[in-house]
Amino acid sequence: MRKLLRFGMAGGLGFVVDAGLLSLLLHLTALGPFISRLIAIAVAMATTWVFNRTFTFEPSRHSLAVEGFRYGSVGVTAALVNYGLYSALLLRLPDLQPLAAMVLSTAASTLFSFFGYSRFVFRGD
């Protein structure tokens, strides 16, 4: 239960980074909602890796490179699900605000992320 709570904290931190950076990029650049979200997801993923590695799960017994590859594999898969849903929402509902689409798509990919990270990246093998 403690891991799930800490994972939620990491996710909350990642969400703040994702939403904050998305908002900044949308307001300060001409990148648009799709490129801005790709950048925000990447920065949020790096942030949650550090938090999860340090506070949520114990570092794996694998090298940092292997752990990083595994984390990235799960993270990229979750990000593809997240970004796919985000894009579909914006394309199908043009009046939907990008931050609202981000909230919905992030919620949908969170459970996948927890099981992927806890079972594939930080498991005690």
Domain that holds residue 40: 2-121
Number of domains in the chain: 1
Whole-model pTM: value is 0.75
Count, residues in the chain: 125
Instruction: Give the pLDDT band (50/70/90) at residue 28.
Output: very high
Q: How far apart are CA 28 and CA 118, in angstroms?
A: 36
Residue in 78, 85, 81, 80 with CA at minimum distance from that of residue 100: 85
Give strand ranges (E) for the chain: none
Question: What are the contacts of 82-87 at 24+ separation with CB within 8 A?
Answer: 82/41, 82/106, 82/108, 82/109, 83/37, 83/38, 83/41, 85/109, 86/37, 87/34
| Res 60 pLDDT > 90 | no
